[in-house]
Amino acid sequence: MFVRQAGLLRNLGTLLQLRQMHLLKKNAYINGEWVSAQSNAVFPVLNPADDAVIAEIPDMDAADAKIAVDTAANTFQTWKDTTAKERANILRRWYDLCVKNSDNLAEIITAEAGKPLSESKSEIVYGSSFLEWFADTARHINGEVVPSPWPNKMIMVTRQPLGVVSVITPWNFPFAMITRKVGALMAAGCTCVIKPSEDTPLTALAAVQLAEEAGVPKGVINIVTSSRKNAPAVGKVMCEDPSVGCISFTGSTHVGVLLYGMAAKGVKRVCLELGGNAPFIVFPSADISHAVDQAMLAKFRNNGQACIGANRFLVHKDVFDTFVQAFKEKISKNCILGPGTKQGVTCGPLINLEQTKKVTELVEQALSKGAKALVGGKPAAQLGTKFYESTLLTEVKPEMRIYKEEIFGPIAVCYKFETEQEALQVANDTRSGLASYVFTKDLGQAFRMSRQLNFGMVAINDGILSAAEPPFGGIKESGIGREGSKHGAEEYTDLKYTLFSGLDK
């Protein structure tokens, strides 16, 4: 009786909090209008902390997706001819509005993604920085004049927007993944259709409300919302429709491979940011205290639900015990589980039951085969159905699933190595190639590791490497293309070569 009443009170508190969110939208967005699905079907968006229904939103299907794609294609015919200065000004206004409304955006992220409010606020700062960056970048997407081999001809190379971009975003950073992609494609002169994760669509809708207020013309940004059931049909339209010029996706490698196959049918451009299996390598010369502090950031930010999160902690045998003991103490002291709205909480729930089940099975299988849990090691069922204890494992062997798989949860796994070459061999023994982390005071070793690690990004003595300015992306099965930086905008352009001849006539 008392447990049930407590649950009802938590749900009521969630609902009262959400009613105060003026950016909470409950419809999809096509051609500047807030619309329902043509079928009028809806699906619920749940708060992962307490399973309360935040809102019911349109469960759109292939027909709705087709309308959105056609709208974006029609709008592209005029948007592509706007000046870079116009696009820059709009993006700047969108940035200003996101900063002004950061608290409200953060509350929506916490409600649907579960992350602590402080992390949600940090995501708004991070995500908004891409709008600011691409507002500036829009005016620097330049072409070139190439020296001609002919005396009476000139070679000009220009960059032109490639058209409609299908944007498919994940749940772990529901705001930043929108701004990082849409800011870039808008700067280049493209239009888009966004399919946000069914777990976190409300943040995308709130962001586009602010885009509308910033003056983004109707049809430039369109959002199709759908449940997991309708996602394949919606994705098929967004990937295979002839009007689509590019598919931009962040998510699992498995889904990325499927989308890549669909894009191949039309020889479409793809920008894929896929799964990671990041090594975190600690050498004897490292500042161990600093390395442990950075390990906390690299592993437990967003409760381990990050593609660049440290997955494998490779620690030299000479400092292994020191590092592991300090790491254990930090985890025990600083990882505080609970709902994201509760003061002092640093680790919220996992996003859904599927993710909770995966993390639980990985740890249980490792423990059954001899791994040791120095901290945690089981679900925190007393808090809810999606909470998992922050965990530190040692004595993990290659035959265990957790040795090879991306964990995407609050599980730190420590391995001991003896030589630099061994560390490289273990680190590179993966088909993933997104982020990697190295801690050393040896300058030559830092340069060697940067050169020899087969990853798209290498952080030396730091556990956080994301920003708007550098090119973000991976190699191997971690993706194609780059986001952020000037390269992020250029992903959404086609090079055109124009030959001017007869200049001597």
Check whether residue 241 and residue 207 sit in a common domain. Answer: yes
Residue 20's pLDDT is what? 58
Residue 354's domain spans which residues?
Answer: 278-463
Place of tokens 């920085």: 129
Question: For residue 399, is it within any domain?
Answer: yes
Residue 6's pLDDT is what? 42
> Pick from 303, 298, 435: which is nearest to 359 by CA?
303
Question: For residue 472, is it within any domain?
Answer: no
> Pick from 28, 66, 69: which is nearest to 224 by CA?
28
Residue 17's pLDDT is what? 53
Check whether residue 218 and residue 257 sit in a common domain. Answer: yes
- Both tokens of 79, joined, read 């948007």
> Pick from 491, 479, 433, 424: which is nearest to 457 by CA?
433
Check whether residue 214 and residue 290 sit in a common domain. Answer: no
Check whether residue 324 and residue 199 sit in a common domain. Answer: no
CATH at 357: 3.40.309.10
Residue 21's pLDDT is what? 67
Check whether residue 60 and residue 177 sit in a common domain. Answer: yes
Check whether residue 267 and residue 400 sit in a common domain. Answer: no
Question: For residue 468, is it within any domain?
Answer: no
Check whether residue 344 and residue 242 sit in a common domain. Answer: no
- Both tokens of 19, joined, read 């009613």
What letters, b where the CB count within 10 A reaches 16 and e where it falls short, cover 13-23?
A: ebeebbeebeb
Question: Does 273 qualify as catalytic in the annotation?
Answer: yes
Check whether residue 251 and residue 304 sit in a common domain. Answer: no
Residue 16's pLDDT is what? 43
Contacts of 40 (CB under 8 A, 6+ apart): none
Question: For residue 473, is it within any domain?
Answer: no
Check whether residue 69 and residue 206 sit in a common domain. Answer: yes
CATH at 34: 3.40.605.10
Helix (H) or strand (E) holding 314: strand 310-316
Segment 57-109, tens digit of pLDDT: 999 999 999 999 999 999 999 999 999 999 999 999 999 999 999 999 999 99
**What is the rounded distance in angstroms from the CA atom of residue 383 to the CA atom of residue 376?**
14
**What is the rounded distance in angstroms from the CA atom of residue 181 to the CA atom of residue 172?**
15
Check whether residue 215 and residue 115 sit in a common domain. Answer: yes
Residue 264's pLDDT is what? 94
* Series of mean pLDDT values for 10-residue runs along the chain (505 residues): 41 49 91 98 96 97 98 98 98 98 96 96 98 97 96 97 98 97 98 98 98 98 97 96 97 94 94 96 98 98 95 97 98 96 96 95 96 96 96 94 93 97 97 97 98 98 97 96 97 97 88
Question: For residue 9, is it within any domain?
Answer: no
Answer whether 380's CB lies under 8 Å from 364's CB: no
Question: For residue 2, is it within any domain?
Answer: no
Reduced 3-state DSSP string for 265-303: CCCCEEEEECCCCEEEEECCCCCHHHHHHHHHHHHHHHH
Check whether residue 379 and residue 239 sit in a common domain. Answer: no
Contacts 24+ apart (CB under 8 A), 483-488: 483/180, 483/181, 483/184, 483/271, 483/273, 484/130, 484/133, 484/180, 484/184, 486/137, 486/140, 486/141, 488/134, 488/137, 488/180, 488/184
Residue 2's pLDDT is what? 34
Residue 318's pLDDT is what? 98
Check 119, 273, 490, 491 and give the catalytic one: 273
Check whether residue 118 and residue 187 sit in a common domain. Answer: yes
Answer whether 483's CB lies under 8 Å from 491's CB: yes
Residue 113's pLDDT is what? 97
- Both tokens of 120, joined, read 């949600």
- Work out the angle at residue 216's Cα, subtended by the Cα atoms of residues 211 and 234, and round it to the nearest 5 degrees: 75
CA 463 to chain centre: 17
The count of domains in the chain is 2
**What is the rounded distance in angstroms from the CA atom of residue 267 to the CA atom of residue 262?**
9
Residue 196's pLDDT is what? 98
Residue 504's pLDDT is what? 85
**Exposed, middle or buried, 461 (CB in 10 Å: 0-12/13-18/19+)?**
middle
